[in-house]
Structure formats: structure tokens, C-alpha cells
Amino acid sequence: MRWKRTIQLVDVHCEGEIGKVAVGGVPKIPGETIAEQLHWLNNDPKGQELRRFLVLEPRGAPIGSVNLLLPAKHPKADAGMVILQPDQAHASSGSNSICMTTALLESGIVEMQEPETTVALDTAAGLVTATATCRDGRCERVKLTMVPSFVHELDVSLETEQWGRITFDLSYGGIFYALVDVGQVGLKIDKANARALVEAGMILKEEINRRIPVVHPEIPAISGVAYVMFRDVDPDGAIRTCTTMWPGRVDRSPCGTGSSSNLATLHARGKVKVGDVLTSRSIIGSEFEVGFKELTEVAGRPAVIPTISGRGFTFGLHQVALDPFDPLAEGFALTDVWGPSAGSIG
């Protein structure tokens, strides 16, 4: 076989959300910082080609992400990472950071120390510190100290054709979220409603980004609402979450960056204090522990430092390859499994 490109991946999921980690064969990504590399991946044709190669069919699938393991740029980091998804490369993700940490330790790329190993991840959003509980050669649990999370604006209103006036919060937890109380779209966060929630989330995301520009005040490469996360409260007080992801699926995990964004809104409303620990529960019932570690500031705005604790599980190793004669090298997506928005993917 005379392949043009091969990339080796460790298969990992975090609380049900797949986050494959590309550990070998990743080409050199231009940029002096991870943020510059993120910008290149999203704006250079070669960067977009790499993303499509890994996440679209026939080599990829609608569920999950592919995380690029990159050399760290930050002097205190053990590894760099960028998250690839069908729409673009993303700056940060809690579930994917847990997948990355689990893959690094269980593959031996970073030496595992028992009972605890600290791994520093260099992301476009900043340094994420992962503290892994380890036993018998296995990474049992990972606790992330996330980047500062802050509110962009509370109680933003938008008139929609489908549901009338929708009110939501715009908040940052490593990427920007629109946080919507789910009852406003006439649904509950339940596995049976996954398709309807995705369709509502895609409509809202498009409308919000069309009307309301958002840019990180210190990292211009991070802009726009990446996801709409629906939220609710379960009878036991856990926060039920459903992050909707372009072009047509929901996050299987409770969503680390979304839960961080939501923590910032709870603090802004005076509902949490430093030291509090909350439970975020996903659409499939898996859970993250969300801690309020400390207060800080971002460009003069009040911000919180969240912690996200969850589990990652390795389930395979595989290699993807590109035949130089393959007419489908650029990848494709169809609406039958990717959802209606896939029609805009080439």
C-alpha cells in the first residue's frame, strides 16, 4: 500500500463523548502559539483539508471529535492540543481534555505516576491543568482546572419565528456559549428528544451569530458562539445539560466548557460561591463534578476558575490513511446521519 498520509489515533471517550487523540503522523502546524495554530487550521486551505480528512466520512463519523496532539508552546505545558470537529477547529473542551490526558498517560507518552499525575495542556484558550487519579496503570479520573470563565451578557433576548421571544445568556468557558433554559423551546432534555434539540440548537446558533458578534477580549482567534447549550435542573438539584453541535448531534457528556460557562452565569447571579461543587448531568445521564475554585478577572471583567472532574476510557487504537488516488480525499457528510445542516458541507 502506497499511502500519501497516515495518522495514528488512540480511541477514547469521556463520559460517553468520543474524543479520539491523534498521537502519530500529525503534520507540522504553523504558528508560534496554539492560538495561532488554531487560526491556521481554521483559515488555511491545508488546515481545513486536515480537519476534513480526520472528521468527515469515509474516515470520520458524526459522533465525537479528533484531538491533535501538538508540541507544547507554553513553557509549563506537557503537550499542546487543538480539537477538530466538522464545523471548525476549536480552542478548548473539557471532555476532550480528559480524553487527551487519559490517552497521554495510558499510552505512556507522559509517564504515569501513582496515585496522582499532573498533566499541563497548552490550548488556544490558555493552560489547562489536569490532575489524574491513577491506579494499576490506569487513569481512573481526571480533574481539570479550566481557563477563566466569564459572562459576556446575561438575559439576551432574540425574537424567533419558531418560539417567539427566547432569552439566553452569552458566556465564555474556553469557547463562547449561548445558554438557553430548555423549556423555552417546548422540550425536555431527554434521549428521545435529541434530534429535536439539535434542530432547535442549530436554528438558534445561526440566528445568534448572525445578529450578535462576540469576540474574546484578549484572544481574537476565539470568536462567535460555538454551541447552544440547553439547560434544566433535575429534581435532585443536578444541572441537566444538552450541548448541540453542528451539523446535527448532541454532546454525550455533560460538557466541560459549557458547564464552566454556566458556572460563570450562576456566579454573576449570586447563586454560587467559591468552594461550591455542583453536578452537571448529560442527556445520557453521565456526570461531571463542577467546582468553583476561585475568582479572577479577564480584561477587567469578573471571572471564575472552574474545575471539571470526569472519567475517560480508552477503547482502541487505529490508523487512518489516505490513498493518493482516493476521489473522496476531502471527505463528505450527508443529511441522513449528520442532520439537515450537513447540506452545507461540501
- pLDDT tens digits along 283-325: 999 999 999 999 999 999 999 999 999 999 999 999 999 999 9
Instruction: Give me the chain's average pLDDT, please.
Output: 96
Q: In the chain, pLDDT over 90 holds for what percent of residues?
A: 94
What is d(CA 227, CA 202) in angstroms, rounded to the nearest whole number? Answer: 9
Based on the residue annotation, tell me whether 255 is a catalytic residue of this protein: yes
Could you confirm whether 149 is annotated as catalytic? no
- Pick from 174-178, 193-197, 341-345: least confident: 341-345
Structural domain range at position 238: 150-310
State the total domains in the chain: 2
Instruction: List, for residues 178-214, the tens digit of each pLDDT value.
Output: 999 999 999 999 999 999 999 999 999 999 999 999 9
With a cut of 80, say whether residue 1 has pLDDT above it: no
Instruction: From the candidates 65, 92, 93, 309, give the one annotated as an active-site residue.
Output: 93
Angstrom CA distances, 288 to 143, 201, 329, stand at 10, 22, 37
Catalytic residue among 14, 139, 255, 309: 255
* Per-residue model confidence as pLDDT tens digits over 79-137: 999 999 999 999 999 999 999 999 999 999 999 999 999 999 999 999 999 999 999 99
H/E segment holding residue 337: helix 335-338
Residues 103 and 230 in one domain: no
List binding-site positions for substrate.
85, 94-95, 251, 256-257
Are 180 and 324 members of one domain? no
| Contact (Cβ atoms closer than 8 angstroms) between residue 264 and residue 174 | no
Q: Which residues are annotated as a binding site?
A: 85, 94-95, 251, 256-257
What's the confidence (pLDDT) of residue 346? 52
Burial class (CB in 10 A: 0-12, 13-18, 19+), 65: buried
pLDDT at 18 over 80: yes
* Statement to judge: residues 12 and 130 lie in one domain: yes
Q: 129 and 178: one domain? A: no
Interval 213-237 mean pLDDT: 96
Helix and strand counts by DSSP (H, E) for the chain:
6, 18
pLDDT band at 343 (very low <50, low <70, confident <90, very high): confident
Q: Are residues 43 and 24 in the same domain?
A: yes
pLDDT of residue 339: 84
Cα distances (Å, whole numbers) of residue 230 to 159, 201, 338: 17, 8, 20
Burial class (CB in 10 A: 0-12, 13-18, 19+), 137: exposed
Rounded to an integer, the average pLDDT of 22-39 is 97
Residue 331 and residue 250 share a domain: no
Which domain CATH number covers 141? 3.10.310.10
pLDDT of 162 over the 90 cut: yes
Strand intervals (E) in the chain: 5-14, 17-24, 65-70, 79-84, 89-90, 116-123, 126-135, 138-145, 150-160, 164-172, 176-181, 225-233, 239-245, 249-250, 277-281, 287-298, 301-310, 312-322
pTM for this model (two decimals): 0.95
User: In terms of domains, do 296 and 318 share one?
Assistant: no
Considering the domain architecture, whether residues 35 and 58 belong to the same structural domain is answered as: yes
The answer to whether residues 100 and 123 belong to one domain is yes
Q: Do 33 and 138 reside in the same domain of the chain?
A: yes
Regarding whether 333 and 254 lie in a shared domain, the answer is no
Grid cell 499542546 is found at: 80
- What pLDDT was estimated at residue 340? 81
The pLDDT, as a whole number, for residue 344 is: 77
Task: Indicate whether 104 and 182 sit together in one domain.
Answer: no
**Percent of the chain with pLDDT strictly greater than 70:** 100
CB burial of residue 46 (10 Å; 0-12, 13-18, 19+) = exposed
Give me the residues paired with residue 179 across strands: 169, 229
